[in-house]
Amino acid sequence: MDRRIKKNQSAIMNALMQLIAEKEFEKITINDIAERADVNRGTVYSHYADKYDLLDKCIEAQLAHLMECCYSPETTGPFPSKITLLRTVKEIENNAPLFQSLLSIKDVSSFRVHLSKMIHMQIVEQMNEHKISLDDLGKSIFAQFMSSAIVGVIEWWFTPSMTCSAEELTERLWSILEVNWMTLLSPQA
Amino acid sequence: MDRRIKKNQSAIMNALMQLIAEKEFEKITINDIAERADVNRGTVYSHYADKYDLLDKCIEAQLAHLMECCYSPETTGPFPSKITLLRTVKEIENNAPLFQSLLSIKDVSSFRVHLSKMIHMQIVEQMNEHKISLDDLGKSIFAQFMSSAIVGVIEWWFTPSMTCSAEELTERLWSILEVNWMTLLSPQA
DNA sequence: CCGGTTTTGTCGGTTTTTCAACAAACGATA
DNA sequence: TATCGTTTGTTGAAAAACCGACAAAACCGG
């Protein structure tokens, strides 16, 4: 891909990320974005249909990045470990204001949906790798159950009193996940 | 100025700065620079005749930056103060590897010459602001004397054993400068 | 509800950058 | 010395970004 495209797209996306962490999405104008990205306004339109399209691409990229940096090659084993979970939670913590803002955007096919879908997919994938005695419907329901739950916990984590440390959250969450996964693996489930 | 020009020029200059702090100037190729700047090789040539031209512009920019950030508006008084000197020395210290490399480039109309000229000009300017009982020749010689001395001290500061702290250097240097300046101000000099 | 201001999305002409290719000069190695 | 690989500096055509201007839409205060 052309250097200019790559650079400008990343500049534009970063600009929106920054702005989102600063003020309400609806208050952000294309001008703000172009200005922050140090790019002509027309350039924004040449890559994205509008604010919402850009937001979508940003969310996708952000989630891809999250996956990349948390589930990268050196993940020990095919199985999501506690350490991986901690790494993920910490990464979310590090970008707390951004994630919080993304989660609070309503008008758009929301970040929560994207996040949930991604987790859903991950879970289905995991289930397919380990032979689970469950039909497709069962897998889908289980995945939906788990992904909703996890996203819910993350959302809760960001509510006013984010009293819980990343380590503590990981600990508690892991113990719940472990139970679910184990009962799933045992054939008599 | 066109956004693209500004951005690419600064990317190219920064690239050279980085590389200079890393390896010998003569070993640096235009390719290295373009690559580091994430810019097409042709773009480098469109702005600079060659390596040496680029280096020259870099030096100028670097010195302009040094002036900018050390002698900016809030400089207390028209007279270079001890605090200003300390700020300058610290700024040099912060970019030690870069300055060291710049000082060690020989083949080109060297950094030392640029630096010396700049200081020379500053001193002449200062002398003109305070009415000094000295003819132009006297001023030139004094400025040359001082600028050479100062540059020499800076060079010395970077020799293998940079044992002296920025604060200490400032302290010692200031006491010397003070004497010179004072004797210059007193009419019987 | 109106009038002024801001934002949006689009357009066309111009400038810059990109990319790939080139010949010439250089440097090292056999 | 001949040769291979690299670096240099230049070119031309294509792609992208720039800028300024535009009408339409949306927003806001009186």
Give me the mean pLDDT over the B101-115 stretch: 82
Q: Closest nucleotide (CA of B52 to C1')?
A: D8
Report whether pLDDT(A63) > 70.
Answer: yes
Does A69 share its domain with A4? no
A13 at interface of B, judged by CB pairs closer than 8 A: no
Is residue A53, in this structure, part of any structural domain at all? no
A136 touches strand D (CB under 7 A): no
Report whether pLDDT(A71) > 90.
Answer: no
Does A5 share its domain with A69? no
Report whether pLDDT(A118) > 50.
Answer: yes
Report whether pLDDT(B79) > 70.
Answer: no
- Percent share of chain B, pLDDT over 70: 91
Is the backbone of residue B39 left (phi > 0), alpha (psi -120 to 50) or beta? beta
| Pick from A30-34, A91-95, B42-46, B108-112: least confident | B108-112
Q: What backbone phi and psi angles, to 5 degrees, belong to A73?
A: -35, -45
pLDDT by residue (tens digit) across A43-53? Answer: 999 999 999 99
Give me the mean pLDDT over the B133-145 stretch: 88
Structure confidence at residue B163 (pLDDT): 77
B38 at interface of A, judged by CB pairs closer than 8 A: yes
Does B68 share its domain with B161? yes
Mean pLDDT of chain A: 88
Report whether pLDDT(B188) > 90.
Answer: no
CA–CA dist B79, B77 (Å, integer):
5
CA–CA dist B125, A27 (Å, integer):
50
CA–CA dist B28, B24 (Å, integer):
7
Give me the mean pLDDT over the A4-17 stretch: 97
Give me the mean pLDDT over the B131-140 stretch: 86
DSSP for B46-92, written as a single string? HH-SSHHHHHHHHHHHHHHHHHHHHS-TT-SSSSPPHHHHHHHHHHH
Q: Pick B181 or B13 by higher pLDDT.
A: B13
B10 touches strand C (CB under 7 A): no
- Residue in B with minimal Cα distance to A11: B7
Does A114 share its domain with A91? yes
| Pick from A20-34, B119-133, B166-180: least confident | B119-133
Does B80 share its domain with B167? yes
CB atoms closer than 10 angstroms to residue B145: 13
Cite the beta strand spans of chain A per DSSP E: none
Contacts of B13 (CB under 8 A, 6+ apart): B54, B57, B58, B61
Burial call A47-69: b when 16+ CB within 10 Å, e when fewer = ebeebeebbbbbbeebbeebeee
CATH label of the domain that carries residue B39? 1.10.10.60
Report whether pLDDT(A75) > 60.
Answer: no
Does A14 share its domain with A98? no
Query: What is the extent of the structural domain holding B120?
Result: 62-185
CATH label of the domain that carries residue B152? 1.10.357.10
Report whether pLDDT(A109) > 80.
Answer: no
Structure confidence at residue B189 (pLDDT): 44
Which has the closest alpha carbon to A154: A172, A140, A175?
A172
DSSP-derived letter for residue A133 is S
CA–CA dist B109, B58 (Å, integer):
13
Number of structural domains chain A divides into: 2
Is residue A10, in this structure, part of any structural domain at all? yes
Question: Where residue A174 falls among pLDDT bands split at 50, 70, 90?
Answer: very high
Q: Pick B10 or A77 by higher pLDDT.
A: B10
- Residue in B with minimal Cα distance to A34: B3
Question: Where residue B186 falls among pLDDT bands split at 50, 70, 90?
Answer: confident
Question: Where residue A181 falls among pLDDT bands split at 50, 70, 90?
Answer: confident
Is residue A164, in this structure, part of any structural domain at all? yes
B4 touches strand C (CB under 7 A): yes
Which has the closest alpha carbon to B69: B89, B51, B55, B98?
B89
DSSP for A106-129, written as a single string? -SSS-HHHHHHHHHHHHHHHHHHH
Give me the mean pLDDT over the A145-156 stretch: 92
Report whether pLDDT(B118) > 50.
Answer: yes
Does A23 share its domain with A69? no
Structure confidence at residue A70 (pLDDT): 83
For strand C, which nucleotides have at least one atom less than 7 Å from a protein CB? 6-12, 15-21
Question: Where residue B78 falls among pLDDT bands split at 50, 70, 90?
Answer: low
